[in-house]
Each structure stands twice: as structure tokens, then as C-alpha cells.
Amino acid sequence: MREGATDARRRIPRTDLVLTDPRLAAAVATFGRARVKAVVVGAQHRARRGEIRPEEVPDAAVAALPGNRPRPVVNATGVLLHTNLGRAALSTSAVEAVVAAAGYTAVELDLATGQRAQRGREALAALAAAVPAAAAVHVVNNGAASLVLAATVLAAGRDIVVSRGELVEIGDGFRLPDLLESTGARLREVGTTNRTTLADYSWAVGAATGFILKVHPSNFVVRGFTTAVPVRELATLGVPVVADIGSGLLAPDPLLPDEPDAASMLRAGAALVTASGDKLLGGPQAGLLLGDADLVERLRQHPLARALRVDKLTLAALEATLRDQDTPTWQALRAGPGQLHDRAERLRQAIGEAGHKTEVVGSLAVVGGGGAPGVELESWALALPALYAEALRQGDPPVLGRVERDRLLLDLRGVPPEQDDTLRRAVLRVLQRCAPDGPTRNR
């Protein structure tokens, strides 16, 4: 063992001293001394293994306490809407709205009359204003819930006509056919994986049809010999068309020309559009339903709608997102490659001044979260040896990048500029602690 490593171990604070930290002393009253002491010992073991510095032991122990608040993560993966990292990061205004709504709030009360009012009416009004083509809107707790509610109300015991090429599976083994059939609906699959025509749908539509389902395959792209039927043609078949656009784009965006949006689907004749709130919209997890007024009212009044309703915090964040759409997602999508390159260079120089060598390399980021499949966004990344990936992931705060060709890429497109200093300090801590032979001097 090197002398420096031995010295570092000697600096690990004693258990009794760590327990005097006010945060840990307060935790004893909640969890008991034995449980808090155990997390302190665990943090000391991490310091002995070189995973954290000795002075980081109290913070690491606090972070390991049971029921501690979620740990913020620096998303340098290059996947902007990373499902495993909670998808969209909320805007400052949305965060402030959530904090304001954490106490008592008039979520279902008219303060002028003192009488009960429509739940979340401000959020619903903001959604309606964002999509004027929708005659009515409703919100449930996620995108899958919006489809469950539509299928239950419109097609329980009836047929849902859907293309075989749109029966998708998304993350964690979630399959759309399983979801729809769980409502008691029957699936009438038409066409083939790569080609479905209007005649295929017309042949399947009949007296038992609840609706035609048009699904945007949001996490894959089929190219080559393909045919798909647009909503405007499906709307001529005399039954409701439900368009699941998935990613939550409310209006056309020139940056994502192939991504379906709610306004266009409604103008094309869709009776109902379903989408997610925590993807391209950049808001909280929610399921959005927009469309025909009578149909939306039927959905709202169904008993299942009560089980799927959103809480006051979601409503507050959704309203703020809709009224101020300059979200972190919007900013990340539109960040200029030149700006990203300059930020990466500044980080490289700062880390180099501390005696460590890194590189700035070109990168390609993606939208992720079931949005804009096939779209690649030019980006820039800080490149480190892949061996640092685990240490950064387990750091405080955790930093997640992606490993390509034995290099760890820290892509800056998903990292807000205000997190650059946090990223710099996290990288320096890991390089200082884990470099095999100490700092690697820039040459």
C-alpha cells in the first residue's frame, strides 16, 4: 500500500466523532443509535476502500440513512429523457409550484364561493390553452393510464383495431397488447409488421368496434418497404380514432419534424389523443387526454378515473410547465453544438489545471424516453478512461455517463450549464482518489 493511501486511512474520523454531526444526531431520534451507527461504519468502510475521501464520511453516512430524500444525479449520458433517471427535469417554475403546493392548496375549492370546484381546473385550463384544437382535456397519472381509461370506457367487451406494426413493447417488458387486453377489450390486429393499408382497417371495422388505435412507435424505427395509414384517412371509417402519440409534443416542432403532435392529430380527425407529460413536454409524470368534449367527459366520469387521478403536486407542476414552456428539456434540445464545445473545453482546462488529463470529443445525444426515435443531436463530451465510470456513478453527487470503446463519455447536452461546476468537482474528486499513480499531468 502506498504511503498516501495509509495516511488517508488514518484521517478517517472516529465513529463517535461522526455521530456528533447534527444531521446524524437528529437521525438517532428517528432511527435509533444502532441503525445510525451502522451507516456511519458503512461510510468508514467506503473510505478505507478508497471510494470516498475521509472528510466525506459524514455526508456519505447522511446519504445512506433510511428514507433519505432522493439523490440528485448529473445526467451526462447523452440521453435527455432517461427513463431510469426520471425522464424530464422540471423547470424552476415547476419546482417552485410543487413547493408551494406541498401545504394546503385550493386544488378542489373555489375560494370566491367557498364551494367545491373542479379538481385541478387551473392545470386543465393551461392544457386546453396550449392545444386549442382540443374541445376538452383531462389528466391522469401516466401515459399508460390514459390508454387504460380510453380502452375501458370505449372498448371493454368490444374490439380495438390496431396495426400489427404498432403493438409495441417498451422498457421493463411492458407490452401494449397486454395493457389493452387487461381492460376487457379484444384486439383486432390488421396488416403486417411493416405494411398496413386503409383496406386492412376497413375490413376489420364493424359493429363490434370500439375504436381504431393509432400508436406512434416511439422507441424504434422501421425503414424500407413500409406503409402506414395516417389519422386523416383512418378518421373516414366511421368509428373513433384514438391516437397515442406517446412523447407529449403538443404542437409541431421544426427540430422534430417526424414526431407526431397533439394539435396535428386532432386537426387530422382523431377523436382522442393520449400522451405523456414527462417527456417532450418537460413536465411531471402524467397522462394527457385531449379531444372530443363528449368523449372526454365520459372518460372523466368513469369510476376508473378516480383511481387514476393525479395529486396536487403533479397538477401544480403541470400547470407551471404549460404556462412557462422554457423547460430544461426544451433548453437541452436546442443547445448549440458550439456552446456545448466551449463548455467542454472549459471543463477540460479546469481539470487540467488540477493536474489531470481529459479529452474533449464529439458526441451524439438522443431524446430518449420514447421520443423522436432515430433523431441524433450533435453534442460534445468530456472523455475519461472507462475505469472511472463506477466511481463517478457512486459519487456524491452521482454522475452518469456512457461507455463507448473503453472511454467514459460525459455528454454535456443533458447537463444544464449551472451544473458544470458540480460536474467539475465530482470528476476531480474521483480522479484524485482513483488515479492509479496519482494525478496524470497534462503534457
What percent of the chain has a predicted confidence (pLDDT) above 70? 94
The arithmetic mean of pLDDT across residues 306-312, rounded, is 96
**Cα–Cα nearest to 392, from 340, 431, 343:** 431
Predicted confidence (pLDDT) at residue 124 exceeds the cutoff of 60? yes
The arithmetic mean of pLDDT across residues 69-94, rounded, is 92
76-85 per-position pLDDT tens digit: 999 999 999 9
406-432 per-position pLDDT tens digit: 999 999 999 999 999 999 999 998 998
Which residues are 213's β-sheet partners? 162, 242
Domains of the chain with bracketed CATH: 3-63 (no CATH), 74-87+330-434 (3.90.1150.180), 92-325 (3.40.640.10)
What was the pLDDT predicted at 145? 96
Q: Which residue type, as a one-letter code, is found at position 308?
A: L
Predicted confidence (pLDDT) at residue 435 exceeds the cutoff of 80? no
Predicted confidence (pLDDT) at residue 439 exceeds the cutoff of 80? no
What was the pLDDT predicted at 171? 67
What was the pLDDT predicted at 422? 92
Lowest mean pLDDT among 295-299, 347-351, 371-375: 371-375
**Cα–Cα nearest to 318, from 107, 166, 147:** 107
Residue 253 and residue 263 in contact, taking contact as beta carbons nearer than 8 Å: no
Q: What is the pTM of this model?
A: 0.84
Rg value, the chain, Cα: 26
Residue with cell 370566491: 112
181-197 per-position pLDDT tens digit: 999 999 999 999 899 99
| C-alpha span between 77 and 89 (Å, rounded) | 14
Predicted confidence (pLDDT) at residue 152 exceeds the cutoff of 80? yes
Residue 123 and residue 315 in contact, taking contact as beta carbons nearer than 8 Å: yes
> Which H, E and C letters describe the chain, residue by residue?
CCHHHHHHHHCCCCHHHHCCCHHHHHHHHHHCHHHHHHHHHHHHHHHHCCCCCHHHHHHHHHHCCCCCCCCCCEECCCECCCHHHCCCCCCHHHHHHHHHHCCCCCCCEECCCCEECCCCHHHHHHHHHHCCCCCEEEEECCHHHHHHHHHHHHHCCCEEEEEHHHCCECHHHCEHHHHHHCCCCEEEEECCCCECCHHHHHHHCCCCEEEEEEECCCCCCCCCCCECCCHHHHHHHCCCEEEEEECCCCCCCCCCCCCCCHHHHHHCCCCEEEEECCCCCCCCCCEEEEECHHHHHHHHHCHHHHHCCCCHHHHHHHHHHHHCCCCHHHHHHHCCHHHHHHHHHHHHHHHHHCCCCCEEEEEEEEEECCEEEEEEEEEEEEEEEHHHHHHHHCCCCCEECEEECCEEEEECCCCCHHHHHHHHHHHHHHHHHHCECECCCCC
What was the pLDDT predicted at 443? 35
Q: Where does the pLDDT of residue 436 fall: very low under 50, low under 70, confident under 90, or very high at 90 and above?
A: low
What was the pLDDT predicted at 63? 84
30-66 per-position pLDDT tens digit: 788 888 999 999 999 998 988 888 988 998 898 888 7
Work out the burial of residue 322: count CB atoms within 10 Å of its CB; fewer than 13 is exposed, 13-18 middle, 19 or more buried.
Answer: buried
Q: Which residue type, as a one-letter code, is found at position 157?
A: G
Query: Rounded to a whole number, what is the largest CA-CA distance in the chain?
Result: 82
| C-alpha span between 35 and 40 (Å, rounded) | 9
Q: Which residue type, as a one-letter code, is found at position 311?
A: D
Residue 361 and residue 381 in contact, taking contact as beta carbons nearer than 8 Å: yes
What was the pLDDT predicted at 440? 44
| C-alpha span between 167 and 190 (Å, rounded) | 11
Predicted confidence (pLDDT) at residue 236 exceeds the cutoff of 90? yes
338-371 per-position pLDDT tens digit: 999 999 999 999 999 988 899 999 999 999 887 7
Residue 326 and residue 335 in contact, taking contact as beta carbons nearer than 8 Å: no
Lowest mean pLDDT among 25-34, 91-100, 228-237: 25-34
237-278 per-position pLDDT tens digit: 999 999 999 889 999 999 999 899 999 999 999 999 999 999
What was the pLDDT predicted at 1? 41
Predicted confidence (pLDDT) at residue 441 exceeds the cutoff of 50? no
Residue 404 and residue 79 in contact, taking contact as beta carbons nearer than 8 Å: no
What percent of the chain has a predicted confidence (pLDDT) above 90? 74
Give me the chain's average pLDDT, please.
91
| C-alpha span between 391 and 51 (Å, rounded) | 7
| C-alpha span between 82 and 369 (Å, rounded) | 6
| C-alpha span between 275 and 255 (Å, rounded) | 19
Predicted confidence (pLDDT) at residue 380 exceeds the cutoff of 90? yes
What was the pLDDT predicted at 62? 87
Q: Where does the pLDDT of residue 169 fall: very low under 50, low under 70, confident under 90, or very high at 90 and above?
A: confident
Positive/negative CA dihedral, 248, 254, 260, 263? positive
| C-alpha span between 388 and 240 (Å, rounded) | 53
What was the pLDDT predicted at 122? 96
